Amino acid sequence: MGTVYLVQCGGGLCNIFGSVLAGNLLTIRPLPVIKAFPLVTAMLYGVMFGGGSAWPFMGAVVILWGILGGINGNINQYWITKAAPEAPDFANGLFQTAANIGCVLGTTVGGWFIESWGIEFVVLAGLGLCGAAALVIWGQCFMMNSAAGMHIQAEEV
């Protein structure tokens, strides 16, 4: 029981570290960080799928997962405040709603995978959701780049 508690505390502390790291990275180069996030998350899912359940290995995964959790929270907040900068209270409500919808969808899809193939294949549900998130994120980044190009082009005329 003590080992589990230490790993959970380590993951939580790493979440704080991930949040600080993301704050710095999003200030410098937001779109590359956002585009890379689903790939890094998918790689961690792949490591989890192939790594088994050995305690030292999974302890390291929990630490990395904690860092990614902190980065994820900051990315979500970044997107939401970009969507509604003039209404911060509304943006915060969207942030909370998006997080709750993500929990519901992830749990539902993960449950379907567990029911169909067993607990060891729940990681594949995460990989699939990473793929879907990557498509949405990359599409949004493409639209932002296109809109920025059109804006610059309009100023030159």
Is pLDDT at 134 greater than 80 in this prediction? Answer: yes
Confidence bin at 146 (pLDDT 50/70/90): confident
Residues 48-86 have pLDDT tens digits of 887 767 777 888 888 898 899 999 989 988 888 887 888
Bigger pLDDT: 10 or 105? Answer: 105
User: What pLDDT does residue 112 have?
Assistant: 96
Distances (CA, A) of 22 to 14, 33, 147: 12, 8, 25
pLDDT at 8 over 70: no
Work out the widest C-alpha separation in the chain, in whole angstroms: 67
Residue 113 in this model has a pLDDT that exceeds 90: yes
Amino acid at 26: L
- Give one DSSP letter per residue of 32-95, joined into a string: HHHHHHHHHHHHHHHHHHHHTT-HHHHHHHHHHHHHHHHHHHHHHHHHHHHH-TT-HHHHHHHH
